[in-house]
Structure 1
Amino acid sequence: MAPILIDSPDIITLLGGGEVNAARLKDALNRAPRLVAADGGADVALEKGLMPEAVIGDFDSLSDVTKASLPPEVLHHVAEQDSTDFEKVLQRVRAPLLLAVGFLGRRLDHQLAALTALVTHVHQPCLLLGADDIAFAAPPDLALDLPPGSRLSLYPLASVTGHSEGLEWPIDGLSFSPSTRIGTSNRVTGPVRLRFDQPGMVVITPPEALGALLAGFAARPAAPAR
């Protein structure tokens, strides 16, 4: 098991080296001023005048200039190549929630890898904030107060069944899997309650849902220590 490098009672902003939407980054930092960078996300941080408290990754995308500019104690080099830099962070940071910017957009393969990491490391709750979407791994039980008419998509990365309240097209009795049935473009009709039998479901909402998502995750019981 990877050692915990950051153990925070507060939510944390995580910055990656992909497409960074300025509005989403501002939203994240307003709610979670503590900043951790995944590898080349440190370059983005310094370009924007931000100082991460930790940089975690294999450093294959971290520039020499940025590396030399940061205090040695901030740099946490993880040499293994069997996981992405995003996974390296999820394995080594413990916080109530991560708000991750710089992981959606640009390369599709990077986005798919990030979604897979969400459900593989569901023990660490994380919201991926992009220009047009927020994506996260569904916990076993989540209540959300979203405006009626809001888009709420469900995309399974494993075989999953569940129960829903407050959706125009209920999911009860449906068996989801990435190759047979997905649940994109559903709509909210009232207070939402989602329950799933196991990890594997990715939930996708508009970025305007951030406040409701923060409230929903905050209301959940604390995750057991790992």
Structure 2
Amino acid sequence: MKRYKLPVQGQHSETVILANGDFPCHPIPLSILKGAQYIVCCDGATDSLVRAGIVPDAIVGDCDSLSDENKERFAHIIHRIREQDTNDLTKAVNYCIGIGRKKITILGATGKREDHTLGNISLLCQYMQHTDVEMITDYGSFIGTNTDGLYESYPKQQVSFFCLDRCHITTHGLVYPVQNQIFDSWWQGTLNEAITDEFGIDTDGRIVVYRAF
């Protein structure tokens, strides 16, 4: 059974993808960004990163939202992918997988547009087939999984999970227990709470687990 740690301030991240949503301001994602070994920017996120005084290692996307100044400055690390069947975040994830970087932290993937936010969160269950990936926001973290898991927590931490498939769900260590119930809608697993320093979710389908900071 896989165990998932809580993200903490200053943790080492092998690879960070910065999407073009809200730029991180919470101490945890901001410290992860600043301490990342390798940073891949989704297109226009480069402009925000540079304003924060950080230089990317690669830029991936169709470059439709990247400033002319940074197109010129970073021309040597731009990987332009013009096809429109996937979004820039997926292009960046595929790029990382292609160069052997399979432990990925995604930042800046929420905010600005709700449709992008929902799409990016749901894509975690696609990425998990090929990589170890976590999405961290200014409010918490998202993990995609399709197997039983244990999640590091703390008492009264707010917890939600979202079912992308019709799943049998059993939970352990949450205030509102679930015992082999069938969940088939996103809302059904929301607004729960951890009891101790760890909780478990058993599933036979794809879910996204959220833990608030």
Counterpart AA for 2:20: G
SS in 2 for 1:90: helix
The residue type paired with residue 172 of structure 2 is E
CA distance in 2 between counterparts of 1:206 and 1:183 reads 14
Query: Which of 116, 125, 143 is matched with 1:119 structurally?
Result: 125
CA deviations 1:185-208 (Å, max 9, x no partner) are 111113212232132x1111113x
C-alpha separation between the residues in 2 aligned to 1:101 and 1:195?
27
Q: In 2, Cα distance between the equivalents of 1:182 and 1:166? A: 17
Q: Deviations over 1:63-94 (max 9, x none)?
A: 2211111141x111111101110111222213
TM-score relative to the length of structure 1: 0.78
Q: Indicate which of 72, 88, 99 corresponds to 2:105.
A: 99
Q: Look up the match of 2:209.
A: 203
How large is the RMSD of aligned CA atoms in angstroms? 2.0
Residue 50 of structure 2 corresponds to 46
Instruction: Write out per-residue CA displacement over residues 13-71 of structure 1, whole angstroms, 9 at most, x where no aligned residue.
Output: 11111111223442323553321111111111111111111111111211221111114
C-alpha distance in 2 between matches for 1:168 and 1:58:
45
Q: Is the 8 A contact 1:155 1:183 kept in 2?
A: yes
The CA distance in 2 between the partners of 1:71 and 1:136, in whole Å, is: 33
Q: 82-91 or 126-135, which moves further after superposition?
A: 126-135
- In structure 1, the residue matched to 2:19 is 16
- What CA distance in whole angstroms lies between the structure 2 residues aligned with 1:84 and 1:184? 27
Q: How does 1:110-189 map to 2 (within 5 A)?
A: 110-123=116-129, 124-178=131-185, 182-189=188-195
Q: Which residue of 2 aligns with 1:76?
A: 79
* Aligned-partner Cα distance in 2 for 1:66–1:22: 22
Match of 2:199? 192
Which deviates more, 118-127 or 11-20? Answer: 118-127
Gaps of 5+ in 1: 1-9, 208-226
Q: How has the CA–CA distance of structure 1 residues 45 and 31 changed in structure 2, closer, same or farther, with 3 Å as cutoff?
A: closer
Q: Which amino acid aligns with 2:193?
A: R
* Runs of 4+ with deviation above 6 angstroms: none
Q: When the two structures are superposed, what TM-score results if normalisation uses the length of structure 2?
A: 0.82
Unpaired runs of at least 5, structure 2: 1-12
